[in-house]
Amino acid sequence: MRALVPVLLASALAGCAPTAPPVAFGGDAAFKARMADRFPPGTPGARVRDELGAAGLAIEGTPDGRRWIAYDVPENLPCYSRTRVDWREDARGRVALLTAQRAECS
């Protein structure tokens, strides 16, 4: 029984290891910079949706197709890590404003 306690403890702590799609690694500042460089204003919104969806992020939009969110659903609960990209598209379907954030559990 005593030998089992360290194994159970290690298993519980491993559940809090950060997980994220590869596009999200590098911390918040690096993620924000990558997203801003990759998807500047004027980028076709379809390209943002395609690339972030292919990277493993879930994509949701408003019924009018003008506001979008791409996010990661972490598999490492109870640890909470978050990857999120929000953007607004203009009437031509191009990015007007994009924000990104990445938070890792500690």
pLDDT in tens, 5-54: 343 334 444 445 555 565 656 678 888 999 999 999 999 999 999 999 99
What's the domain range around 96? 4-103
Residues 6 or more apart in contact with residue 13 via CB below 8 angstroms: none
Q: Which two tokens stand for residue 21?
A: 């799609």
Number of domains in the chain: 1
Neighbours of 79 (CB within 10 A): 17
Of 78 and 83, which is predicted with more confidence? Answer: 83
Interval 32-42: pLDDT, tens:
999 999 999 99
Between CA 79 and CA 104 the distance in angstroms is 9
φ/ψ of 102, rounded to 5, equals -140, 125
Per-residue pLDDT at 103: 80
